[in-house]
Each structure stands twice: as structure tokens, then as C-alpha cells.
Amino acid sequence: MTSESETSFLANYNIHDFDVPLTSVDMTIFTIEDDTLKVLLVKRAQFPAKGQWALPGGFIDLTRDNNLDETANRKLREKTGVSSSHLEQVSTYGSPSRDPRGWSVTIAYMALISCNELSLKSDESSEDVVWAPIDDVRNSYTLAFDHGTILEDCHQRLKNKVQYTSLPISLLPQNFTLSELQRTFELILGSSIEKKSFRRRVLAANIITETGELRAGSNRPAKVYKAISRGKQHVFPRNIEGPR
């Protein structure tokens, strides 16, 4: 496959002979806490944009990462301690002006995690880490670079996907009740869902199974379910329509 002259071409090839953009990975990490959809923000401890809020992210480790998903997973682990969850590449952004260091490209990932399986970690790159309610970000946080746009695009992707996939299951702990799942869908969708429709739809899709346990309360106990294949998303052939 590799001819003799290709070998010599490669021997003489030096990546630094050309101008290449800076390339990084940024993460929009969603969770649900206190009945609210939240996103992970870090206060940058280093230049550029030192002291500003931003999405967590960083450079590809060329010696360790074997692909972009590994970079994203590494970032997720560094900030949250979580290693598995729904991880999805959303979009890639590039321009000469989005970072003051020059032409830069960032691959944006969206991650969904259950808030009770994690422990937030600051590190040398961030002086503070918070779960910001998504609705507060626009008013209470000024995000560095084009992270406002990236966050909006990821949020929009999540809102779209709640309409035709089972994705929000990844925001819950392993075990959950149908009411909890419905509430999660409603939080993302921003409107209420009719209970019977929701249950029919989810149960007919054959993606969750009863654990046999019951969740007690001062009311009728709810059946506890878990995903049949955790992390896999079901695609429905029809959107949730919402109230008519």
C-alpha cells in the first residue's frame, strides 16, 4: 500500500511547515438536579479568558487519545469522575476569531449524566466548577469564546432529541419510575406530556424492564424500571406532539 516514494514523502513531511489551526474538544455536560436541567461550567484558571466561565474542554492529547471520543471521555472523567454515560458529538466550530490565539477548531460534544453518580473536581485548569441551571446561563453567566453558541446548539440538539428518542433515560440513575422519566422528558421539552400517551409510547418501545422493586411513598408505590440496554437510544418513528 505504502510505496517507496510515499515513504520518503512522509520522511520529509513536517507538520510544522504548514499553518494548522489550534484544535480542541469542548463538552456540554447536562444533568438533572433539584428538578432542573443543569449544565457544567468551569471558571477558567488560565489564559486566555482567565476568570471567565466556559464549557469544560481542552486539547487532544496526541500521545494518549486514540480518537476524539477518547478525548471527550477523558475530559468528562477529569471534570466529573464519570466514565460512562451518553456521549454524542454535536458539531465542530472553526474560525480565526473564536479564540484570540488564532485560527482554531473545536469539536463540541454533549454528555448526559445522572447527577448522583458524580463528584465535581476542580483541577489546575479551572478555579471553580458549578452546575448552572440552563435557564440561568443566559442571564447570570457570560461565557468565554463562542461557548454561548455551542451551549445553545447542544441544548437545541437535546430538545430536538427528546421529541423522537429515548435519550433522557441517560439523565436518570439506573433505576427509575415512569413518573420520574416523564418528568425528565417534560423538563427538557418545556411542556407537559399526557401521562397515558407517554406510558404507552415508552412501554411499547420495549426499551425498559421492571426491576421488580417498588418505590414507596405516602401514596400508591410506583414500579421501578431500568433500561434494557443502558446507554442505547431508541428512535421513535413519530415525534411527541405535546398538548393540542
Partner DNA sequence: GTAATAGTGTCTATAAGACACTATTGA
Partner DNA sequence: TCAATAGTGTCTTATAGACACTATTAC
CB 184 to DNA: min, Å: 13
Q: Using an 8 Å Cβ cutoff, are 6 and 13 in contact? A: no
Q: Is the Cβ of residue 44 or residue 234 nearer to DNA in the bound state? A: 234
Helical pair 147-164 and 178-189, crossing angle rounded to 10 deg: 130
69-128: contacts with a copy of itself (CB under 8 A)? 71, 89, 91-96, 100-103, 105, 107
Q: Is the Cβ of residue 8 or residue 211 nearer to DNA in the bound state? A: 211
- List Cβ neighbours of 131 (8 Å cut-off, separation of 6 or more): 31, 33, 38, 39, 40, 41, 115, 120
136 binds, among a copy of itself, DNA, none (CB under 5 to 8 A by kind): none
- List Cβ neighbours of 140 (8 Å cut-off, separation of 6 or more): 132
Please tell me the distance from the alpha carbon of residue 28 to that of residue 46, in angstroms, as a whole number: 20
Written as nine digits, the cell of 158 is: 437535546
Q: Using an 8 Å Cβ cutoff, are 82 and 76 in contact? A: yes
* Per-residue binder mask for a copy of itself (CB under 8 A), 28-47, x = binder: -------------------x
Written as nine digits, the cell of 84 is: 460512562
Q: Is the Cβ of residue 71 or residue 166 nearer to DNA in the bound state? A: 166
For residue 232, state whether it binds a copy of itself (rule: CB under 8 A).
no
Q: Is the Cβ of residue 199 or residue 226 nearer to DNA in the bound state? A: 199
The kind and range of the H/E element at 200 are helix 195-204
Q: Which residues bind a copy of itself (CB under 8 A)?
A: 2-3, 5-6, 9-10, 13, 15-16, 18-23, 47-50, 59-60, 62, 66-68, 71, 89, 91-96, 100-103, 105, 107, 237-239, 241
